[in-house]
Structure 1
């Protein structure tokens, strides 16, 4: 495998780990407050993600996956600064 592929694989693995931790941690933290709050917190995280995944799929079919990937990659650093 190419050396760049190892870097991409490591970055993708860390990104997937971070995404799963981001989804898991708020629900776990909310159970310390009250169990029924955990359901509300997980719904607040899951519902927008599900809607945006559907809209992103339609947009990806319309504009093409390369264009969407480039636009999201360009917007990702700005998301962290806000």
Structure 2
């Protein structure tokens, strides 16, 4: 038998559980997002840009896409069979 860490041994399982909880606690206490003003500003700018370009009428978006496709087909140089 191997003498390494095995899941069937209670001590090995306990070691994995303790390691998991310690690493989870270290990550959860990082609070990097709370102190980084640069990324907070970038998020606000991205939210504003998304809100400015968002169109509330889905039919308007669909019609705009359809018009663009038809314009592209009309100017396309592909040979139709």
Quickly name the TM-score band, shorter chain normalised.
Answer: 0.3 to 0.5
* Higher relative contact order structure (alpha carbons within 8 Å, sequence separation ≥ 6): 1
Structure with more of its chain in helix, by fraction: 1
Taking structure 2 as the reference length, the TM-score comes to: 0.34
Please tell me whether Structure 1 or Structure 2 has the larger radius of gyration of its CA atoms: 2
Taking structure 1 as the reference length, the TM-score comes to: 0.34
